[in-house]
Structure 1
Amino acid sequence: MNVTEASPKEVSQAETPFSNLTPDFVLDAVESMGFVSDARIYTLNSYENRVYQVGIEDSQPLIAKFYRPERWTDKQILEEHAFSFELQDLEIPVVPPMLHEGNTLLNYKGYRIALFERRGGRAPELDCEDTLYSLGQYMGRIHAAGQATPFEHRPSLTVESFGSKSREFLLANNYIPASLLEAYTTITDQLLEKVTARFDLIDYTPIRLHGDCHPGNILWRDDKPNFVDLDDARNGPAVQDLWMLLSGEPERQHIQLANLVEGYEMFCDFQPKELGLIESLRSLRLMHYVAWLARRWNDPAFPMHFPWFNTERYWAQHINELREQLFALEQPSLKLMPDF
């Protein structure tokens, strides 16, 4: 695959990187790729990038994704695209970008764009054992491919990238209210110490991951899962793609895990020791998420859709969540059911 070199600097990198994306601009961008729009356009639920469903005359609508400037390099985006095609070639149900004149990463007036087939579906029923078994099978197939070679350009999920750097950004930019600063610094010091110790204790081999495999990124269609949005694909422990499919009380999670792993091991060896990373990964996700909101706060879409963020009450709640994670890290790790 080739790429038409994008020119992100042509887009304002100040506080509103998507301010030019009016409906007419989006339609013009899609039509510049050779499509004829029927002028129907719907904004889809995406904040990091901007994603639209665009109606096409005498054809199915397509999905147009405008990448946030400066988040990923061209090489990192193309590596994500290549991974999705690799999975598609293995008949794993993913949604790869469409090709236009041999390219998947397109350019329109400085914006980097990818077009996708629209694929509908519903959320998977995670209380259904057959659904979990099937999810495990497909995740095992994804990870079997992911083990072949790591990403060269895309980042890795580490304590530093998700935890330490998130904390540093919030403190350096004075997001934590003065009344809660001591509590925040104390709890994050303790949490990062325990998470680091856990990562040092558990030896694992990083593989290519979906990276953000929560139920909202899985569409159940034709009796199988369709995995969408590989935008957060990165190197990391395999269990990162599994733990977000577990929920509820420990007894319920044991049953869910057993069904997932039973399907998973049809195609890929599961490493039970990685279960000891789940609460650490959950802690890092919490820290990364709030720093993500803070980093994007100058984007007008964020105050509009997350009005509860950056209030004293919010930070108090976040500190309590981190305290709960500190407690969870001191509890026995989730394990496979004895009869598995």
Structure 2
Amino acid sequence: MTDLPAGFGPLTPELMLDALEHAGLRPDGRLLQLNSYENRVLLAHLEEGPAVVAKFYRPGRWTDAQILEEHAFAAALVEAEVPVVAPLTLTVDGVSTTLGHFAGQRFAVTPRQGGRAPELEDPDVLRWIGRFLARLHEVGQREPFRHRLAWNSAAPAREARDWLRDHDTLPPELSANWHDAAERCIAAIDAAFDTLPDRRALRLHGDCHPGNILWTPDRGPHFVDLDDAVQGPAVQDLWMLLSGEPDAARLQLNALLDGYESVREFDWRELRLVEALRTQRMIHHSAWLARRWDDPAFPMAFPWFGTSNYWSDQVVKLRDQLDVMETASYRNGGWPD
């Protein structure tokens, strides 16, 4: 990813409606903005038929090839009857495509899909999600991503660290401490991946937290967002679903993997990567916020970011993660063998 302008200035409601009209849809003028920081996502009512969800991509973030690769993955999942919401095929300038272009903006349209947050305290729900993720990974292992990012080493953390350094983002009094902690964490992340030289990398959801799962009692879980799909180890799609104290997280993991392994085998050695992936996400998230600070939506949503308190807290958290990654329990994955 590169330096990005905010890019959404020209994206007025009128332009969005014109873009949908250009793609062969007939919006009736009603647009409702949905929660999304990275892209602009709206519920669009049509003159005929059910409402749809339109996603206008942040300019410059992904290439067309990366977006279309995500769309192809979603289509493969739908074909395999894995419950995800895939982009609709549009007709733009006489060409069938899932990625529309209009007035310098790129967009995709998906069906509207309802649901609520899953109850992750329920072991049966976790087993169901585990089965679902295993089915997603079965499709993901069929072929690799060729254009999208890989979370299969410390490269994302290293790139985020470099961006923050090159843009002089941190307060001077905290910069040396944060960069020292980040550098040591990156070395530990690389060391964790090096313990699994024969690990398997596959296409993943990539951002598998509870907010990206919708639940319906009859259909169970489904994903609505593959925007952060990456190549990496299977455990990347599991660890963000764990929360609470270690004993509680262990019970959650056991339920998830009980469902997962009823469909496909899980390489339990990948548990060694959980804290490395968590640390990498922390570093990456700080750079993500800094990159987006020119977008007016970000200072409003994250007013605490960039303060001395924020960065001093990050130093403490990274040092804590370093301690976790360097302990014997981490080398065993933090779980009983």
Question: Shared fold (TM-score greater than 0.5)?
Answer: yes
Output the CA distance in 2 between the equivalents of 1:21 and 1:187.
40
**What is the match of residue 137 of structure 2?**
143
Name the SS of the counterpart of 2:97 in structure 1.
coil
| Pair 1:219-2:209 in alignment | no
**What is the match of residue 209 of structure 1?**
204
Identity %: 47
Match among 233, 241, 258 for residue 262 of structure 1 = 258
| Pair 1:246-2:242 in alignment | yes
Output the CA distance in 1 between the equivalents of 2:155 and 2:51.
37
Given that 2:152 and 2:233 are in contact with CA atoms closer than 8 Å, whether structure 1 keeps it comes out as: no
Match among 270, 287, 292 for residue 291 of structure 1 = 287
| TM-score relative to the length of structure 1 | 0.92
**What is the match of residue 108 of structure 1?**
102
| TM-score relative to the length of structure 2 | 0.93
What letter matches 1:149 in structure 2?
A: E
Given that 1:79 and 1:154 are in contact with CA atoms closer than 8 Å, whether structure 2 keeps it comes out as: yes
Q: Deviations over 1:271-296 (max 9, x none)?
A: 00000000000000000001011111
**What is the match of residue 146 of structure 2?**
152
What's the offset of the Cα at 1:82?
0.6
> Structure 1 unaligned runs (5+)?
1-12
Output the CA distance in 2 between the equivalents of 1:41 and 1:263.
39
What letter matches 2:75 in structure 1?
A: F
Within a 5 Å distance, the mapping from 1:96-135 to structure 2 comes to 96-101=86-91, 102-135=96-129
Given that 1:254 and 1:337 are in contact with CA atoms closer than 8 Å, whether structure 2 keeps it comes out as: no
What's the offset of the Cα at 1:336?
5.4
**What is the match of residue 157 of structure 2?**
163
What's the offset of the Cα at 1:99?
0.7
Given that 2:53 and 2:112 are in contact with CA atoms closer than 8 Å, whether structure 1 keeps it comes out as: yes
Name the SS of the counterpart of 2:32 in structure 1.
strand
| Pair 1:42-2:28 in alignment | no
Given that 1:255 and 1:337 are in contact with CA atoms closer than 8 Å, whether structure 2 keeps it comes out as: no
What's the offset of the Cα at 1:152?
1.3
Name the SS of the counterpart of 1:19 in structure 2.
coil
Within a 5 Å distance, the mapping from 1:6-25 to structure 2 comes to 15-25=5-15
Q: Deviations over 1:147-191 (max 9, x none)?
A: 111111112114443211111111111111111122112211221
| Pair 1:75-2:34 in alignment | no
Given that 2:4 and 2:61 are in contact with CA atoms closer than 8 Å, whether structure 1 keeps it comes out as: no
What letter matches 1:100 in structure 2?
A: L
What's the offset of the Cα at 1:50?
1.1
Output the CA distance in 2 between the equivalents of 1:21 and 1:77.
19
RMSD after superposition = 1.6
Output the CA distance in 2 between the equivalents of 1:270 and 1:210.
16
After TM superposition, the structure 1 stretch with the greater mean CA deviation from structure 2, 300-309 or 268-277, is 300-309
Q: 1:153 to 1:253 in 2, by over 3 A?
A: same
| Pair 1:175-2:169 in alignment | yes
Q: 1:337 to 1:194 in 2, by over 3 A?
A: closer
